[in-house]
């Protein structure tokens, strides 16, 4: 009970893992490309959550190990990941529009021109 | 010498008429057809008369040589390419001229062929006037005239053979003139096929002559034969003459090849008169007479000719006794009279035989034309049992036919008396009992001839009318175009015999003297060789004028009279259902005669194979069946075996190809590659979520590794 | 206690579990809804809740960026695209593909591994975090990104801007009517 009430880094990691699994399930099972992309956003956010949580954890490390108030590398990484996600969403949705124009569908299992 | 120089025009004129009919006949009127076709034959007759007249003058100045007109070399060359070796080893040029030869023998044939042919052409205008295929009929007739005149006027055996085959073809075409009738086409086939047997003999005979004498030109062959180099009874000449006689048997309807002639009556009656009574069937006689020099060197052949002729004469006459079809009676009569002619040739009386040909052509043509007129007036009825009492209804026909009957029966002074009596006399005077038997056969035939001819007259023209009322109502005398030829022929039948009034009756036998240049040299040759038996007709008169000749003459006239009397007693009052005297005496004999000695049936069993003996089929069809069996079982069996082996090989090859080459060699690597590809392509599924799944699996793998390693 | 921390957080577990619940439910809704708009709204909700979690982790700048960029930018982009394409037909079709069972199994395997990892590594994360004033957070990030002396991520930042430029051009090219 104590472990439940006392929120530690591990809680965030477990939450990130859960979100990651939800995103993976979405990517692997949904046919709608839009939702697949959203699931990818979920995965990225799960990673971001982990990064930010571990950055917080790292701040508590001794300074000789690189910890301290200035140890914000995880957060910077999270910002970069968000940038990446924005770029990825922009390009992915552009591809989606082009694809929809050609095949009149948004089902990812109909994107099979490369299928042996 | 206008006509003699242009003698080749005589056959070419009818050829022109035939060609006209062939090209334009369908489009022109019947009158045009008649004018062209009859016109060319009349012209040919006039030219023939002129040519013969000029020949007599020419011959007096040229030692009675035959007149030859050679137009060009028709077959073979001078270059030596067609040279061949004769029996004695010398080179000979194979050569056949388009050449014409006129001598007394061909003169006689020329005259009666064109003369009788002309009359029959005129007659046909009336007879065929209502028939279809008018131009076709006259075209065939003209073609026949061309072929017959070629046959007669040829100066070598090859050209004669051309005419020989030509008349055979025309005979075939004209017998089958009513080709829509099965019986007519069958009869035409029969005539053609039976004649082939004879023609084969003729061809082989020609080969023998060419091989032995080195030439086929009559003048060369006859000169060689008379030169005295050859022995009498030379086996090769015997073989050649026998083979020629086989040809004559076919064409002139002698035993055993006579069977086609009675069936040939399926053709129109003028055809029967022209081809199958007067002219074509005497071609065999002409050929034997033409080859007399050869036959005289082969006594065996002479005897064969005489025996075959005599047997044919009595055989056909006996069949003629009971036939009911008016044309068939005349057909068997023709066969019988042809037998007479060969009897005459066989006993060496060539002139007598030729004389009988000459007279026979008139009265037999007249009989056939008269029969045609009767049939014409009877609306096509040919069965004498349905005739009777026509004498006063068609008087011209009746009187002319009566003249012809008297002539054929041998009643003096009609033509047949002189010729037939001459033959019998010549047979009798030959030394040897065998010739007396031949004479007796001829004598019996004369009796039968008189009987069946007067039977024909009485059944047709006397007795009770036995036709139906409708037919009776339509009876009418024939038109002028038919009546005029009948009358002319009647005059000829009466007077033709006077040309050879025998010396024993105070005549001079001019006909036989006319033929002396053809036949007499043999007698001289024979006398030089010391063979007394062979004497020509002209030389014989002086030696045998004796009481026995008058006795024989009386006997033959008596036979004719007896035949007449018997026919009159049996048939004068014939009513419907009258009885045949022979049937009354002996039904089996009657049936045998009525069925023609079952010769056709025997031939069907033995040669054609149309009838089976039990389960065995002989003859041509039997051969056909046998070869069919051979083909179906042996040849096809071999073929099938080959096919089966091929198929087996192919099956094995296919199996090998399918399973080993394709299976192991070609498909094997492919299948292997495909099987290998199944796991491989899992990595390249082509669906993006599959890649994601693989990635996830990889992630699982990595994590598992790092956690549990 | 750390003197730098002016206002210690209150009722931390409550907010953590609340926001976590919102996020989990939002995530589940994202991957299960037929209608993509609903998914998008659920995703916005989850992302906003995540921004709250960032605040709880003393990362206000990241939280701001999260709200501005995700909720304000990316999600608007998603909604625009959803409106551009017709979703009616897609809603009537099968929502999951043929490999959904395998996918869930793989995710479950991964989840099982995660659980075992966390069960193993629980002791690696001792408690007792130092607390820093929030005002310094944005400043420190800016120093890391831009400062000429301490900014070790300057080059990466420039690269990221180039990446964005490439993404802009790529998106424009891909979405053109004729490629």
B113-127, B296-310, B578-592, C15-29: segment of lowest average pLDDT: B578-592
Q: Looking at residue C144, what is its pLDDT? A: 86
Query: CA B645 from chain center: how many Å?
Result: 52
Q: Looking at residue B678, what is its pLDDT? A: 85
Q: Which H, E and C letters describe B64-106, residue by residue?
A: CCCEEEEEEEEECCCCCCCCEECCCCCEECCCEEEEEEECHHH
Which residues does chain A have with pLDDT short of 50? none
Residues C131/C8, Cβ–Cβ less than 8 Å: yes
Burial class (CB in 10 A: 0-12, 13-18, 19+), B473: exposed
Q: Give me the residue from A24, A36, A114 closest to B686, CB to CB.
A: A114
Q: Looking at residue C11, what is its pLDDT? A: 64
Q: Which residues contact B543 (CB under 8 A, 6 or more apart)?
A: B535
DSSP B388-426: ---TTTSHHHHHHHHHHHHHHHT-TTSHHHHHHHHHHHH
Q: Domain C1-93, what architecture?
A: Up-down Bundle (1.20)
Q: Looking at residue B514, what is its pLDDT? A: 83
Most C CBs within 10 Å, among A45, A96, A105, A108, to test the C interface: A45
Neighbours of B223 (CB within 10 A): 14
Q: Looking at residue C127, what is its pLDDT? A: 59
Q: Looking at residue B132, what is its pLDDT? A: 81
- pLDDT above 90 (res B243): yes
pLDDT per residue over B442-477, tens digit each? 999 999 999 999 999 998 888 888 888 888 888 888
Q: Enumerate residues 76 to 115 of chain C having a beta carbon within 8 A of any beta carbon in chain A.
A: 77-78, 81-82, 84-85, 87, 89-90, 93-100, 102-104, 106-107, 110-111, 114
- Minimal-distance CA residue of chain C relative to A59: C130
Question: Chain A residues within 8 A (CB-CB) of chain B?
Answer: 24, 27-29, 36, 108-109, 111-116
Q: Give me the residue from B689, B690, B703 closest to C110, CB to CB.
A: B703
Helix (H) or strand (E) holding C24: helix C12-32
Nearest to B413 by CA among B568, B566, B557: B557
Average model confidence (pLDDT) for chain B? Answer: 86
Q: Give me the residue from C30, C62, C89 closest to A35, CB to CB.
A: C30
Nearest to C130 by CA among A47, A55, A77, A49: A55
List residues bridging with A30 in a β-sheet: C96
Tally DSSP H helices, then E strands, for chain B: 31, 4
- pLDDT above 50 (res B533): no
- Three-state DSSP at B166 gives helix
Chain C partners of A10 at a C-beta cutoff of 8 Å? 118, 122, 125
Give the start-to-end residue ranges of the domains of chain C: 1-93, 131-179
Q: Looking at residue B532, what is its pLDDT? A: 42
Tell me the count of A-B CB pairs closer than 8 A: 27
pLDDT interval class at B334 (50, 70, 90): very high
Q: Looking at residue C73, what is its pLDDT? A: 86
- Minimal-distance CA residue of chain A relative to C35: A35
Q: Looking at residue B499, what is its pLDDT? A: 84
Q: Looking at residue B391, what is its pLDDT? A: 85
Q: Looking at residue A115, what is its pLDDT? A: 66
Would you state the structure tokens that stand for residue A98, as one six-digit string? 């082009």
List residues bridging with B96 in a β-sheet: B75
The answer to whether the CB atoms of B689 and A109 lie below 8 A apart is yes
Q: Looking at residue B522, what is its pLDDT? A: 52
Residues C58/C35, Cβ–Cβ less than 8 Å: no
Distance CA B450, CA B458 (A): 12
Q: Report the gap between the CA of A77 and the closest CA in chain C (Å).
A: 9
Q: Enumerate residues 36 to 65 of chain B having a beta carbon within 8 A of any beta carbon in chain C.
A: none
Q: Give me the residue from C103, C107, C117 closest to B707, CB to CB.
A: C117
The answer to whether the CB atoms of C31 and A22 lie below 8 A apart is yes
Using a CB–CB cutoff of 8 Å, tell me whether B697 touches chain C.
yes
Give the start-to-end residue ranges of the domains of chain A: 2-110
Q: Enumerate residues 28 to 87 of chain A having a beta carbon within 8 A of any beta carbon in chain C.
A: 28-32, 34-35, 37-39, 41-42, 45, 48-49, 52-53, 55-57, 59-60, 69-70, 72-73, 75-76, 78-80, 82-87
pLDDT interval class at B149 (50, 70, 90): very high
pLDDT per residue over B271-286, tens digit each? 988 888 888 999 999 9
Q: Give me the residue from A18, A69, A95 closest to C174, CB to CB.
A: A95
Q: How many residues make up chain B in this entry?
A: 709
Q: Looking at residue B368, what is its pLDDT? A: 92
Q: Looking at residue A116, what is its pLDDT? A: 54
Share of chain B above pLDDT 70, in %: 95
Nearest to B686 by CA among A116, A97, C42: A116
Would you state the structure tokens that stand for residue A86, as one six-digit string? 């924005």
What is the domain class of A2-110 according to CATH? Answer: mainly alpha
- pLDDT above 50 (res C10): yes
pLDDT per residue over B335-368, tens digit each? 999 999 999 998 888 888 999 999 999 999 999 9
Q: What is the ipTM of this complex?
A: 0.89
Q: Enumerate residues 127 to 146 of chain C having a beta carbon within 8 A of any beta carbon in chain A.
A: 127-130, 132, 136-137, 140-141, 143-145
- pLDDT above 70 (res B528): no
pLDDT interval class at C142 (50, 70, 90): confident
A67-71, B489-493, C163-167: segment of lowest average pLDDT: A67-71
Q: How many residues make up chain A in this entry?
A: 116
- pLDDT above 70 (res B179): yes
Chain B partners of C103 at a C-beta cutoff of 8 Å? 689, 693, 696
Q: Looking at residue B535, what is its pLDDT? A: 45
Q: Looking at residue B436, what is its pLDDT? A: 87
Write down the residue that tokens 């995530």 correspond to: C27
Of A42-46, B478-482, B668-672, which one has max mean pLDDT? Answer: A42-46
Q: Looking at residue B578, what is its pLDDT? A: 80
Q: What angle do CA B452, B457, B460 make, to 5 degrees?
A: 115
DSSP B227: T
Q: Looking at residue B427, what is its pLDDT? A: 85
pLDDT per residue over B220-237, tens digit each? 888 888 887 888 888 899
Distance CA A48, CA A78 (A): 5
């Amino acid at each position: 009970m104590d472990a439940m009430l006392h929120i530690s880094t591990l809680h965030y990691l477990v939450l990130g893992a859960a979100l990651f699994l939800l995103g993976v399930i979405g990517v692997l099972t949904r046919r709608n490309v839009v939702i697949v992309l959203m699931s990818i956003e979920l995965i990225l956010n799960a990673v971001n959550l982990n990064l930010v949580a571990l950055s917080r954890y790292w701040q508590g490390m001794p300074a000789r190990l690189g910890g301290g108030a200035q140890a914000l590398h995880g957060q910077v990484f999270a910002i970069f990941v968000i940038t990446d996600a924005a770029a990825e969403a922009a390009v992915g949705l552009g591809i989606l529009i082009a694809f929809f124009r050609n095949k009149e569908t948004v089902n990812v299992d109909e994107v099979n021109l490369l299928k042996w | 010498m206008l006509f003699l120089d242009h003698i080749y025009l005589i056959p070419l004129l009818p050829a022109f008429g035939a060609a006209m009919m062939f090209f334009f006949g369908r489009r022109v009127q019947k009158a045009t057809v008649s004018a062209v076709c009859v016109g060319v034959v009349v012209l040919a007759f006039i030219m023939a008369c002129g040519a013969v007249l000029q020949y007599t003058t020419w011959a007096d100045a040229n030692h009675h040589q035959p007149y030859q007109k050679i137009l060009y070399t028709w077959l073979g060359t001078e270059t030596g390419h067609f040279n061949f070796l004769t029996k004695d080893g010398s080179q000979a040029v194979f050569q056949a001229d388009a050449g014409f030869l006129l001598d007394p023998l061909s003169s006689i044939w020329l005259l009666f062929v064109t003369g009788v042919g002309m009359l029959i052409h005129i007659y046909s205008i009336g007879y065929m006037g209502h028939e279809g295929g008018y131009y076709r009929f006259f075209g065939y007739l003209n073609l026949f005239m061309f072929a017959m005149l070629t046959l007669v006027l040829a100066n070598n055996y090859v050209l004669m053979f051309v005419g020989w085959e030509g008349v055979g073809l025309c005979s075939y075409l004209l017998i089958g003139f009513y080709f829509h009738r099965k019986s007519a086409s069958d009869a035409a086939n029969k005539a053609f096929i039976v004649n082939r047997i004879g023609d084969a003999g003729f061809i082989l005979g020609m080969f023998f002559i060419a091989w032995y004498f080195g030439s086929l030109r009559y003048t060369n062959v006859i000169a060689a034969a008379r030169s005295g180099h050859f022995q009498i009874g030379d086996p090769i000449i015997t073989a050649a003459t026998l083979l020629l006689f086989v040809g004559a048997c076919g064409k002139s309807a002698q035993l055993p090849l006579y069977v086609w002639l009675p069936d040939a009556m399926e053709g129109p009656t003028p055809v029967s008169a022209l081809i199958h009574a007067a002219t074509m069937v005497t071609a065999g006689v002409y050929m034997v007479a033409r080859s007399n020099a050869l036959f005289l060197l082969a006594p065996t052949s002479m005897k064969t000719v005489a025996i075959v002729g005599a047997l044919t004469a009595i055989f056909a006459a006996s069949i003629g006794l009971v036939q009911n079809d008016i044309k068939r009676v005349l057909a068997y009569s023709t066969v019988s009279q042809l037998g007479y002619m060969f009897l005459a040739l066989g006993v060496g009386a060539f002139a007598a035989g030729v004389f009988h040909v000459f007279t026979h052509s008139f009265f037999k043509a007249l009989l056939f034309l008269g029969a045609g007129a009767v049939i014409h007036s009877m609306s096509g009825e040919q069965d004498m049992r349905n005739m009777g009492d026509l004498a006063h209804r068609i008087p011209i026909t009746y009187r002319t036919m009566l003249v012809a009957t008297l002539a054929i029966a041998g009643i003096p002074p009609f033509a047949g008396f002189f010729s037939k009596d001459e033959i019998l006399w010549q047979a009798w005077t030959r030394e040897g009992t065998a010739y007396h038997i031949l004479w007796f056969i001829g004598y019996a035939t004369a009796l039968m001839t008189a009987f069946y001819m007067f039977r024909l007259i009485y059944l047709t023209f006397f007795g009770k009318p036995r036709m139906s009322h409708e037919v009776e109502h339509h009876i009418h005398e024939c038109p002028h175009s038919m009546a005029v030829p009948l009358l002319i022929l009647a005059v000829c039948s009466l007077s033709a015999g006077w040309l050879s009034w025998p010396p024993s009756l105070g005549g001079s036998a001019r006909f036989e003297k006319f033929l002396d240049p053809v036949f007499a040299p043999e007698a001289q040759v024979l006398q030089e060789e010391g063979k007394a038996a062979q004497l020509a007709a002209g030389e014989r008169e002086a030696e045998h004028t004796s009481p026995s000749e008058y006795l024989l003459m009386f006997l033959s006239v008596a036979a004719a009279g007896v035949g007449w009397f018997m026919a009159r007693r049996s048939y004068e009052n014939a009513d419907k259902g009258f009885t045949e005297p022979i049937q009354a005496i002996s039904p089996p004999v009657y049936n045998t005669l009525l069925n023609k000695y079952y010769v056709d049936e025997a031939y069907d069993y033995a040669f054609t194979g149309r009838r089976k003996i039990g389960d065995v089929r002989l003859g041509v069809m039997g051969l056909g069946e046998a070869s069919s069996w051979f083909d179906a079982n042996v040849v096809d069996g071999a073929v099938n075996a080959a096919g089966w082996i091929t198929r087996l090989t192919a099956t094995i090859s296919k199996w090998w190809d399918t399973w080993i080459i394709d299976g192991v060699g070609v498909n094997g690597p492919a299948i292997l590659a495909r099987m290998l590809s199944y796991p491989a392509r899992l990595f390249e599924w082509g669906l993006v979520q599959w890649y994601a799944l693989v990635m996830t699996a990889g992630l699982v793998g990595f994590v598992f590794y790092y956690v549990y390693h | 206690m750390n003197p730098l921390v002016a206002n210690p957080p209150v009722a931390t577990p409550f907010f953590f579990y609340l926001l976590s619940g919102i996020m989990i439910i939002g995530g589940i809704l994202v991957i299960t809804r037929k209608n993509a708009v609903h998914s998008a709204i659920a995703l916005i909700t989850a992302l906003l809740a995540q921004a709250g979690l960032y605040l709880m982790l003393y990362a206000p700048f990241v939280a701001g960026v999260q709200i501005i960029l995700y909720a304000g930018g990316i999600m608007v982009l998603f909604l625009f695209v959803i409106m551009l394409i017709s979703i009616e037909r897609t809603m009537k079709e099968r929502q999951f593909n043929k490999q959904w069972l395998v996918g869930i199994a793989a995710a479950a395997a991964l989840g099982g591994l995660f659980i075992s990892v966390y069960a193993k590594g629980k002791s690696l994360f001792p408690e007792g975090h130092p607390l820093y004033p929030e005002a310094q957070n944005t400043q420190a990030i800016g120093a890391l990104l831009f400062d000429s002396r301490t900014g070790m991520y300057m080059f990466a930042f420039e690269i990221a801007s180039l990446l964005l430029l490439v993404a802009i051009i790529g998106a424009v090219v891909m979405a053109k009517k004729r490629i």
